[in-house]
Structure 1
Amino acid sequence: MGELTQKKKVTIMMAIMMAMFFSAINQTIVSTAMPRIIAILGGMDHYTWVITIYMLTSTIATVLVGKLSDIYGRKPFILAGIVFFMIGAFLSGFSKDIYQMITYRGIQGLGAGVIMASAFTAVGDLFSPRERGKWMGIMMAVFSFSSVIGPLLGGWLVDHMDWKWLFWIFLPLGIVAFGMILMFFPKVERKESEKIDFLGSLFLSLTIIAMLLGFSWAGTKYDWGSVEILGLFSAAIVFLGIFILVESKAKSPVLPLSLFRNDIVTISNSVGFIMNAGMMGALIYLPFFVQGVEGISPTYSGYVTMPMSIAMLAVSAITGNLITKTGKYKRFAIIGMPIMILGMVIMAFMNSVWMAVVAMIVFGLGLGTGMPVFSITVQNAVSPAQLGVATASSQLFRNMGGTIGIAVMGTIMQSSLVKNMKNLSSGGGSDLTKLDPKTAEQLSVFNSPEMLLDHPKLEQMTQTLPPDIQTVVTQMIDTLRDALSASLTTVFLAGAALLVVALLLTLFLREIPLRTSNEVPQEEASSGNLSKASPGEQLKH
């Protein structure tokens, strides 16, 4: 795409960002309202699966599309991604139970994975590594903007309208995004010499599915040492071994093993994996504190998370421009990640809405400073011939980290909640055995954390009880909130610990000059591995 004028490139970027915004706003508008939706549909114990299935399908789609888009171009995949996402969103609104919601969110995940992999790679097609800093910052700002208005709008909608409209209200935007991509995005001729690695794709997908299912079910549906979980992890190891064997012989591998001989790619992907595991695993439980512990409605819950998005929006754009201006990137990661850790530690010990707001601001500042770096490092470390598959590998490790982090944090959350509820009950909490069996059965529903997330239902049920029983219920709710708060502290501290590990790895990230052109010597383009000395020198194989 080097022959395109700057005006044409900017127009294409507007179309790409429209597609990204459509995908992002559909995510953020649901985030704040999801606890209420789960409370309505039921299935609190399957809450993490609504997130996990989305991450699972988007992860598989991301890595498969990376190589395919190198062969067929980015345009058909962005268009297909928008279509899948719209179908999933439309069907999600018709969910009758948690299982249907999980299924339809899986379809949405397929679309989102395709959109994101193609969009970020397209930036690499259009601009040199030096210019990408600015555009990556702008794309992060698009995510931040959707994170500002999405939770607010989502909270307001779920309080004032049927929750189905959360999934339907932005469908017209998807049609607009589809039209813009169709009109403005240039078509790329297929690389006839490239063959699709079907066998590698199959075993890579099987590896991801077995591993993520193992982490998702471990500690919740099955014990960590159960036959089912050990069987899934064993299957993942076997599939991974077969995948490596297949890729070592494939002429056009779906995920070239040579990528991981590049230390910059390996460290960047490792940092992305660990960082997303800590960040995503912890942040999805923030609404539980705001709505469950503090009793804030979904509408006002959005105001609590908004400062993070505003801080990230401003800082990511500034960081992107500074990367483009200076050609340096490692310093921003080293500055941003400690700030993220500080924000996560504040979350662990927050005891009010105002502390939650402060934590969000701090975390957003760190996120906006450090997050744009790692996409640039990977794209700058490989030749344009492997831009799609390298970008997909980065997205793959981030998605896997997020998915595994959510699963592991979910296990920590559930086990900690059970333990804390037992401890608090034994320490003077409500003992239902002292009541008559009928009353005890009636009040048992108030021992479920789901009650804390559906305020109208909780208030309605409480008002129907006799005054003397309401006192018992109030005590039970306080016990639930204390147990939930203590459990969330454990989750946020675990997330902070993972971010510390990511920071330590970042210190070993090797910084090479950002290229000012997409053109590289022919020998670099054929190998796809830039040298350890500089982008223009001989490759190290």
Structure 2
Amino acid sequence: MEHLSHKRKVTIMIGIMVAMFFSAINQTIVSTPMIRIAADLNGLDHYTWIITIYMLTSTIATVLVGKLSDIYGRKPFILGGIVVFIIGAFLSGLSKDIFQLITYRGIQGVGAGVIMATVFTAVGDLFAPRERAKWTGIMMSVFGLSSVLGPALGGWLYDNMSWKWLFWIFLPLGIVAFIMIWILFPKVERRPSEKIDYWGSLFLTLSVVPLLLGFSLGGTKYDWDSVETIGLFAAAIVFLIIFVIVESKVASPMLPLSLFRNSIVTISNLVGFLMNAGMMGALIYLSFFVQGVEGVSATYSGYVTMPMMISMVIMSMIGGRWITKTGKYKRYALIGMPILVIGMVMMAYMNSITMAVFSMIVFGLGLGMGMPVFSLTVQNAVPPSELGVATASSQLFRNMGGTIGISVMGTIMATSMSNNLRAEFTGGNGPDFSTVDAGTAEQLGKLVDMQTLLNQPMVAALQEKLPPEATPIIEKIIDMLKSALTSSLTTVFLSGAALLMVAFILTAFLKEIPLRSSNKAKEPALEKTESVSV
């Protein structure tokens, strides 16, 4: 589509960004009040499935649509993704119970996965790699903007309107995006004699689903060494082996194994995996510090992560322009990754809200400089005929990195917290319960749990009910819990910093192909990426 005028491309990009913003804002807007929506539907016991089902369906849709969009073009999939997402969002607002909401969120996930996979690939269709850098940075800033606006807007809407409008308020934007893409986006003819790899699609799905379920449910609903968790991982391995065998034999594989013989694609996907793991850890566990240690309310804790998104938006746009100007990208990744590590180490030793904000700003700067690079490297290292499947593979690794990273860091957090609590409350260091009666002591003993720090109203209510002599004990318990939580978070963030350091080392081995000024490069030349020097 390079033959299109610049004005037409920009107009199409506006439609693409509207579609992306529509998908992203509909997710971030429900992130803050989702647990309260689950409570309204009497479904807190099934709350995790609202998140898990969306993650599963979006991940599967992302990877499957990559190859299909290479065959049929991006337009039908962007349009289809918007329609499916609108249907899922509309039905979610009509949910009468938690099981309906889980089902409809699964439908939303399919639409979101299709949209996210195709919009980034469409940028590759419209622009040559060198100019693509600028637009990739802008796309990242659109995603960051939704992350800044969504949580705060969602909390306000929940408090002032029916929660159904959280799902419905941006539906008109989806219709606008559909119309713009329908009118402006060129239609691409199907590639001749290209067969769809149904068996590969099936076994890829059967390998990814139990893998993500294993990491989502392991350590929470089931123990890591339980039959259920081990069975899920075993099933994932078996189906992955079958998938590899199938893909090595079919003429047109859903996910060509040759992609992973390209060191640029492999390293970029591994780095994306590790970066997403670190980013999700930063976003989730920072709130434990803000709410648990510093005592900030859940509503206002979201504002502490805002600086990260704002700095990421700014640096994504600036970095994209720098890459477009120079045609080089590796140097920006090598600068961005150490900044990410510094930001994570700052989180490990933060002792105030001010320090948390500064660490978020630093982390966001590194994220904005480094994250867009690894989409460009993948797209620049493959022929145009594999643009969709290569971009989808990148999205797959990032999605899995976020899911697995949250799970692994959660296990580190739980183990460290257990050890720290044991150290704090044993060996004569614990509070003296002998000054209160047995009933009061029993109630105070229930406070020795990390959840106590995240439920300050409950602590205040209990303090009013108990006799005055219990107050010093409560204060000591709170102080010891804060100490244990602070030490545990230090372990978690240092683990995240170690992951990002591995990503930085991998980046050093990334081979750089100067970004092309045209999409018309000969495909055979692109296959020789292994021989390109740094």
TM-score, normalisation: structure 1 = 0.89
The equivalent residue for 1:510 is 511
Contact kept in structure 2, 1:381 and 1:530, CA below 8 Å: no
The equivalent residue for 1:107 is 107
Report Cα offsets for 1:162-211 as digits up to 9, x if no partner: 65544443333333323322332222222242111110011111111122
Q: What pairs with 1:128-147 in structure 2 (closer than 5 Å)?
A: 128-147=128-147
Question: Does 12-21 or 287-296 show the bigger shift?
Answer: 287-296
Root-mean-square deviation (CA, aligned residues, Å) is 3.1
Q: What pairs with 1:138-287 in structure 2 (closer than 5 Å)?
A: 138-157=138-157, 165-287=165-287
Q: CA deviation at 1:287?
A: 2.0
The equivalent residue for 2:400 is 400
Structure 2 CA distance for partners of 1:104 and 1:425, relative to 1, 3 Å? farther
Structure 1: 5+ residue stretches without partners: 536-541
Structure 2 CA distance for partners of 1:5 and 1:66, relative to 1, 3 Å? same
The equivalent residue for 1:120 is 120
SS of aligned partner of 1:503: helix
Query: Match for 1:529: what amino acid?
Result: E
2:15 is the counterpart of 1:12: no
The equivalent residue for 1:414 is 414
Write the distance in 1 (CA, Å) between the matches of 2:82 and 2:283: 26
Q: What pairs with 1:356-375 in structure 2 (closer than 5 Å)?
A: 356-375=356-375
Contact kept in structure 2, 1:155 and 1:300, CA below 8 Å: no
Contact kept in structure 2, 1:129 and 1:517, CA below 8 Å: yes
Q: CA deviation at 1:499?
A: 0.3
Q: CA deviation at 1:114?
A: 1.0
Structure 2 CA distance for partners of 1:115 and 1:455, relative to 1, 3 Å? farther
Write the distance in 1 (CA, Å) between the matches of 2:302 and 2:384: 41
Write the distance in 2 (CA, Å) between the matches of 1:350 and 1:468: 33
The equivalent position to 2:527 in structure 1, one of 517, 529, 537, is: 529
Question: Does 235-244 or 421-430 show the bigger shift?
Answer: 421-430
Write the distance in 1 (CA, Å) between the matches of 2:138 and 2:295: 35
Q: What pairs with 1:300-449 in structure 2 (closer than 5 Å)?
A: 300-426=300-426, 428-429=429-430, 439=440, 446-449=447-450
Number of corresponding residues:
532
* % identical aligned pairs: 69
Query: Match for 2:8: what amino acid?
Result: K
Contact kept in structure 1, 2:440 and 2:466, CA below 8 Å: no
The equivalent residue for 1:538 is none
Write the distance in 2 (CA, Å) between the matches of 1:480 and 1:322: 46
Structure 2 CA distance for partners of 1:522 and 1:94, relative to 1, 3 Å? closer
The equivalent residue for 1:78 is 78
Contact kept in structure 2, 1:282 and 1:406, CA below 8 Å: no
The equivalent residue for 1:499 is 500
Write the distance in 1 (CA, Å) between the matches of 2:432 and 2:91: 43
The equivalent residue for 1:68 is 68
Query: Match for 1:345: what amino acid?
Result: V
Contact kept in structure 2, 1:137 and 1:372, CA below 8 Å: yes
Query: Match for 1:390: what amino acid?
Result: A
The equivalent residue for 1:488 is 489
Write the distance in 1 (CA, Å) between the matches of 2:255 and 2:199: 12
Contact kept in structure 2, 1:52 and 1:403, CA below 8 Å: no
Structure 2 CA distance for partners of 1:227 and 1:190, relative to 1, 3 Å? same
Write the distance in 2 (CA, Å) between the matches of 1:510 and 1:349: 35
Write the distance in 2 (CA, Å) between the matches of 1:392 and 1:247: 16
Report Cα offsets for 1:42-65 as digits up to 9, x if no partner: 988977665444333221111001
SS of aligned partner of 2:236: helix
The equivalent residue for 1:55 is 55
Write the distance in 1 (CA, Å) between the matches of 2:479 and 2:183: 57
Query: Match for 1:350: what amino acid?
Result: M
SS of aligned partner of 1:204: helix
Structure 2 CA distance for partners of 1:466 and 1:129, relative to 1, 3 Å? same
Write the distance in 2 (CA, Å) between the matches of 1:290 and 1:188: 50
Q: CA deviation at 1:21?
A: 0.9
TM-score, normalisation: structure 2 = 0.90
Question: Does 397-406 or 444-453 show the bigger shift?
Answer: 444-453
Contact kept in structure 2, 1:223 and 1:229, CA below 8 Å: yes
Q: CA deviation at 1:39?
A: 7.8
Question: Does 225-234 or 390-399 show the bigger shift?
Answer: 225-234
Q: CA deviation at 1:471?
A: 5.3
SS of aligned partner of 1:284: helix
Structure 2 CA distance for partners of 1:471 and 1:53, relative to 1, 3 Å? farther
Q: CA deviation at 1:517?
A: 0.8
